[in-house]
């Protein structure tokens, strides 16, 4: 069965129900099935309204969640800054709060004194020109 949009199914089923209702004299044996179709159509309308309401509620819940996460992020950043302001940015105490202490500059590389006095050797060309 090919896929159809809900509106198309509903239209087709309403046309069918109306046609069967008009010819109920000849199709009396289908009365219960017609009632089932009509109650199903009513139920489809109710469920579709519920689905749309729940979708809107889910979207609103997502917006509320994002707003709460933004507020939590701002509060966490403020707390982190307060902790660093209180203890300093180099103390190991920061690890307790899940922060990394700032390290100082590493040791300087010592260069030999002789290398400073001598000029650098010219580089070799990467390829020869013809």
pLDDT band at residue 127 using 50, 70 and 90 as cut-offs? confident
Supply the pLDDT for residue 113: 57
Supply the pLDDT for residue 124: 76
Question: Would the pLDDT of 116 be above 70?
Answer: no
DSSP assignments along the chain, one per residue: -----HHHHHHHHHHHHHHHHHTTTT-GGGHHHHHHHHHHHHHHHHHHHHHHHHHHHHHHHHHHHHHHHHHHHHHHHHHHHHHHHHH-SS-GGGGGGT-PPPP-PPPPPPPPHHHHHSPPPPPPPSS---
Q: Is 88 left (phi over 0), alpha (psi -120 to 50) or beta?
A: left
Q: What is the pTM of this model?
A: 0.56
Q: Express each pLDDT in 44-83 by its tens digit.
A: 999 999 999 999 999 999 999 999 999 999 999 999 999 9
Percent of the chain scoring above 90 in pLDDT:
72
Supply the pLDDT for residue 103: 84
Q: Where are the domains of the chain?
A: 6-101
């Amino acid at each position: 069965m090919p896929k159809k949009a809900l509106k198309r199914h509903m239209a087709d089923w309403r046309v069918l129900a109306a046609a069967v209702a008009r010819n109920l004299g000849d199709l009396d044996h289908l009365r219960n099935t017609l009632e089932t179709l009509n109650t199903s159509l009513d139920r489809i309308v109710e469920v579709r309204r519920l689905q749309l309401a729940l979708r809107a509620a889910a979207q609103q819940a997502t917006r509320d969640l994002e707003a709460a996460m933004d507020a939590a992020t701002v509060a966490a950043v403020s707390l982190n800054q307060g902790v660093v302001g209180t203890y300093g940015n180099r103390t190991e105490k920061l690890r307790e709060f899940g922060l990394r202490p700032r390290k100082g500059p590493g040791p300087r590389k010592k260069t030999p004194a002789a290398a400073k006095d001598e000029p650098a050797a010219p580089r070799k060309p990467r390829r020869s020109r013809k």
